[in-house]
Structure 1
Amino acid sequence: MPNQTADPPHHIAFVVLPEFSNMGLALAIEPLFVANWLAQRQIFRWSILSLDGLSVRASNGMHLPVDGALGEIGTYRTVIVVASFNVKAHAEDQRLLNWLRRMARFGADMGAIETGSEILAAAHLLDGHPATVHWDNLEGFQERYPDVEAVTQLYTMGRGRMTCAGATTTLDMMLRWIAEQTDTGLADEVAQHFLMARQRPPHQEQNAPDTALGSVANQKVQQALGIMQKTTDEPLLCHEVAARVGLSERQLQRHFQRHVGMSMAQQYLQFRLAKAHKLLQQTDLPVTEVAISSGFGSLENFSRTYRRHFGCSPSADRQQSTTAPVFRHRTMGRG
């Protein structure tokens, strides 16, 4: 039987923004339900809010009914923003930002799933705090919010703030949060019901394609790839990269063909286009500045190369939506 003398449930508001991740929301709510079920009492309760009180379309096309609009339902001990695509537009919604600031002033802990961290950053609620940013949004986030310590670990938690990279890291973060709100024993039981043999620590790094380059077997190629990534704004000549790793250009080109599957120049261009793609979709930087930051000395050359790769001009690719062009990250060879 439920404990009638127990503390009132911890009330959580999930603020879901259009094109949010349905997976992220589910992995946040389901552990709360399982914790309540195991405890045989309502430790947690939650409300799902949208900007206008109407249903919200997820990135997968499903429409989610909500419990109300911002400001319509009670007070909350914790507020978690759930967002994924097209977050840049919502980061300028002053009504949303003001409501979040008000919740924080009233003492609510603030959290974010995936690009929800950008909303908290836009409200200046992450200034001076570490915040986890999904690897695909890191460069854009750092450009827009220099006062926030952007990190690529799985999740962060502390001083009334918690953020995660989304997807499966949402479950890791929520299990840790449940442990802090109740006890580790209950969180471990919840993890067992989710078939999680091991709960990942917050400081573990995301498996981003760029960091996964370290899995390339050849050490010289690893070093060269690292140099290329750090010099996308001022690309080196291929023989200069080779000299830095102690090989001739011909030797390093052979290693690239074997271990990466393309030439050095092709890989360099991939890094530069990836950077340009993120800056265009995730920031408001002028196209000319994006071109320079990506190592293109000529705007005409940048536009021509970008159009050839993405099928549109740089100026037509300024939204990170589900219908926008996608940059595919190749899996590096391991042989």
Structure 2
Amino acid sequence: MANVSQRPQDPATPQTLGFLLLDNFTLISLASAIDPLRMANQLAGRELYRWYTISHDGAPVRASDGLQVTPDAATTTPLKLDMVIVCGGVGPHRSVQREHIAWLQSQAKQLRRLGAVCTGSWALAKAGLLDGIETSIHWECLAAMQEAFPGVALTTRLFSIDRDRATASGGTAPLDMMLNLIGRDHGRELAAGISEMFIYDRVRGEQDQQRVPLKHVLGTTQPKLLEIVALMEANLEEPIGLDELANYVDVSRRQLERLFQKYLHCSPSRYYLKLRLTRARQLLKQTPMSIIEVASACGFVSTPHFSKCYREYFGIPPRDERLGVGSGRSTNQRSLLTPPPSQVEAPPEPMSSALLALTQAQGEPTYASVPL
């Protein structure tokens, strides 16, 4: 899929997003995607974004926690959207209907950017709109998605932004995705301000991974492998030798290496190194520990060796990681929330709840607190 050419954003024109609700969508993912837009408007003191919730027939949609949401519009409602985000949840293979697929395909033909949160990527894949696109989806749905849509480039990242597609796994990951998109549109200061308002300690980037439980990947068929990995995770500061690990679970070193190659597609030492480096990344981003202390806490005998391994694995040295330099992709690329070069004129839209929220926020001390 070709990249859409960049165009300057008109600051007077709010970006409009439509959130397509599938049956049994997860409410936390929807809120994590919408509330950053609300707070962006509040901190800027003007309507940067507006949004609509949508169902295929305009009828209320029940979330996975049993709460019902009455949408603002149906898919037949004429809306001038810049981006459509599919909100999925439990059982996406049952929730995605032909009407959803047809509407999403029509949105793609109109050059609208597309996104998904939680398991909403299933709907985009079903519509044939994710082939060759790096895609994130909740880890619980990864295996089924790989089986059903082999042409989709699935990843375990918290969220992925690839060309004119943006997909996020569940829970609070949509919050990170939206903060990154808002930061591209209006600068890091606004994204940081939103993060502070939500008491969100750190905005995670595109390189951050979901923690997929190994039991989910392997099932219960490989108890020895699960036991070995648990031993590795419990001994990051003082790594255990491979021979000793093999003895713990009563297998030979050769059997140990075969298990890792067959089920985890890497050597035991490589997997152990990945665990230690992932832990180091968490410490660098979430604690004030020095690089020397982080290296020691993750089992590295010297700081230069740690820095070399870190750079080779993450593509960035620990010092730059700590400073937030070079993380994520280029901020010069056109934001997904910026309108495409051509936009088909649409009839007047229904009232967006963004205006009501912005009006109510005018009495807040944070109103217009971030100059743009």
Q: TM-score, normalization: structure 2?
A: 0.57
Aligned to 1:22: 27
Highest relative contact order (Cα 8 Å, sep 6+), 1 or 2? 2
- Could you tell me how far apart the structure 2 residues matched to 1:242 and 1:62 are? 53
> Quick check: 1:14–1:49 contact (8 Å CA) kept in 2?
yes
- Following superposition, the deviation at residue 153 of structure 1 comes to 0.8
Aligned with residue 215 of structure 1, among 217, 233, 238:
233
Letter in 2 for 1:63: Q
Aligned to 1:62: 67
SS in 2 for 1:163: strand
1:10 aligns with 2:21: no
Shift in alpha-carbon separation, 1:164–1:221, aligned structure 2, 3 A: farther
Aligned with residue 123 of structure 1, among 124, 127, 130:
127
1:134 aligns with 2:138: yes
Which 4+ runs in 1 deviate beyond 4 A? 211-214, 218-224, 238-243
Q: 1:42-61, CA deviations, whole angstroms, 9 ceiling, x for partnerless residues? A: 11000000121011111001
Shift in alpha-carbon separation, 1:164–1:244, aligned structure 2, 3 A: same
Aligned to 1:31: 36
- Following superposition, the deviation at residue 17 of structure 1 comes to 0.8
1:161 aligns with 2:165: yes
Q: CA RMSD in A?
A: 2.4
- Could you tell me how far apart the structure 2 residues matched to 1:208 and 1:17 are? 24
Shift in alpha-carbon separation, 1:6–1:206, aligned structure 2, 3 A: closer
Q: Please list, as runs of the form range in 1=range in 2, the aligned pairs for 1:70-89 lying within 5 A after superposition.
A: 70-89=75-94
Letter in 2 for 1:71: T
- Could you tell me how far apart the structure 1 residues matched to 2:54 and 2:73 are? 5
> Quick check: 2:118–2:137 contact (8 Å CA) kept in 1?
yes
Q: 1:119-173, CA deviations, whole angstroms, 9 ceiling, x for partnerless residues? A: 1111111111000122111111100000000100110013110001110111111
Aligned with residue 40 of structure 1, among 41, 45, 63:
45
> Quick check: 2:135–2:160 contact (8 Å CA) kept in 1?
yes
Aligned to 2:174: 170
Question: Structure 2: which 5+ residue stretches go unaligned?
Answer: 1-9, 218-228, 258-372
- Could you tell me how far apart the structure 2 residues matched to 1:67 and 1:221 are? 61
Aligned to 2:314: none
- Following superposition, the deviation at residue 245 of structure 1 comes to 2.8
- Could you tell me how far apart the structure 2 residues matched to 1:38 and 1:103 are? 30
Question: Structure 1: which 5+ residue stretches go unaligned?
Answer: 225-237, 247-335
Shift in alpha-carbon separation, 1:74–1:241, aligned structure 2, 3 A: farther
SS in 2 for 1:98: helix
- Could you tell me how far apart the structure 1 residues matched to 2:252 and 2:94 are? 39
The alignment-based identity, stated in percent, is 32
SS in 1 for 2:20: strand
Aligned to 2:149: 145
Aligned to 1:244: 255
Shift in alpha-carbon separation, 1:221–1:152, aligned structure 2, 3 A: farther
Q: Please list, as runs of the form range in 1=range in 2, the aligned pairs for 1:294-309 lying within 5 A after superposition.
A: none
SS in 1 for 2:81: coil
1:113 aligns with 2:117: yes
Aligned to 1:317: none
Aligned to 1:282: none
- Could you tell me how far apart the structure 2 residues matched to 1:160 and 1:94 are? 23
- Could you tell me how far apart the structure 2 residues matched to 1:16 and 1:82 are? 5
> Quick check: 2:134–2:162 contact (8 Å CA) kept in 1?
no
Q: 1:3-48, CA deviations, whole angstroms, 9 ceiling, x for partnerless residues? A: xx94221110000111101111111111100000111111100000
Q: 1:59-102, CA deviations, whole angstroms, 9 ceiling, x for partnerless residues? A: 001111111211213121000000111210234x2221111011
> Quick check: 1:216–1:222 contact (8 Å CA) kept in 2?
no
- Could you tell me how far apart the structure 2 residues matched to 1:189 and 1:32 are? 12
SS in 1 for 2:53: strand
Q: TM-score, normalization: structure 1?
A: 0.63
